Amino acid sequence: MATSLFDQFISPVLLGIPLIALAFVLPWLLFPAPANRWITNRLLTLQSSFIGNFTAQLLKPLNVGGHKWALIFAALMLFLMSLNMLGLLPYTFTPTAQLSVNLGLAVPLWLATVLIGMRNQPTKSLAHFLPEGTPIPLIPVLIIIETISLFIRPVALGVRLTANLTAGHLLMHLISTAAYTLLCMMPTVAILTTIVLFMLTVLEIAVAMIQAYVFVLLLSLYLQENV
């Protein structure tokens, strides 16, 4: 029995070996492999349609230079969505509920967008730190504020994903514990609590998909500013 509500977020270990690497590999094993036939199965057709529509909507605001990121964005979207959805299964571990994992995904991609902007259009990238027509006394303050807002972006990406998943898992754990405890004492209340738990589970499935989309969408917006 878990001694703390947050014990469910501890990385599982087997024989002294962390199993977080297995949790990262598992989602890729669930995807259907493309076939050489012209007519594929329904699952592969549905997956291809989803990836195509998602990529088209995501890259619509970007110019041609940003379309090189289509494969990265599509793979990251599927990866995050699969990890978030698998984490909703009982007795499973959610790597994306770890802040270190999310920062490990957010910081390199954010840094890549910044470096691309500095290399391709350094004048425009540096102009974001100081808007045109700024009064001279406010120049140092605005530069400091814009610098902080720039470096806080990857932190916001990681914290947003971690906080949403952690809050949802904790709430599901609390409600399921309450339903199990009330089952013998107040069966009617336990049934109502179970209904609430089912509705919350459906909501968490939507949150798992939306948060993966928001993570990739914000990265595309950061890329849009630098290409």
Residues 11, 97: Cα–Cα separation, whole Å: 10
What integer pLDDT is reported at residue 4 of this predicted model?
Answer: 66
CB atoms within 10 A of CB 202: 10
In angstroms, the CA 44 to CA 2 distance is: 40
**In terms of residue numbers, what domain contains 84?**
1-226
Phi-psi region of 8 (alpha: psi -120 to 50; beta: other; left: phi over 0): alpha
Q: Could you give the count of Cα atoms lying within 13 Å of 132 in the half-sphere of its Cβ? A: 2
Residues in the chain: 227
pLDDT of 8 reads: 66
Task: Supply 123's token pair.
Answer: 């004048």
| Residues 6+ away with beta carbon under 8 Å from 161 | 80, 96, 102, 211, 215
pLDDT given at position 16: 73
Q: Print pLDDT tens along the chain (227 aa).
A: 445 666 666 777 777 777 777 777 777 777 766 667 666 677 777 878 888 888 888 888 888 778 888 888 888 988 898 888 888 887 777 888 888 889 999 999 999 999 988 888 888 878 778 777 778 888 888 888 888 988 999 999 999 999 998 888 888 888 888 888 888 888 888 899 999 989 999 999 999 999 999 999 999 988 888 87
| pLDDT for 59 | 82
**Tokens 């088209």 appear where?**
56
What pLDDT score was predicted for residue 32? 67
What is the number of structural domains in the chain? 1
Alpha carbons 50 and 46: distance in angstroms, whole number:
6
Which pLDDT does position 1 carry in this prediction?
Answer: 44
Which residues neighbour 11 within 8 Å (Cβ) at sequence distance 6 or greater?
18, 19, 20, 93, 98
**Residues 64-82: tens digit of each pLDDT:** 778 888 888 888 988 898 8
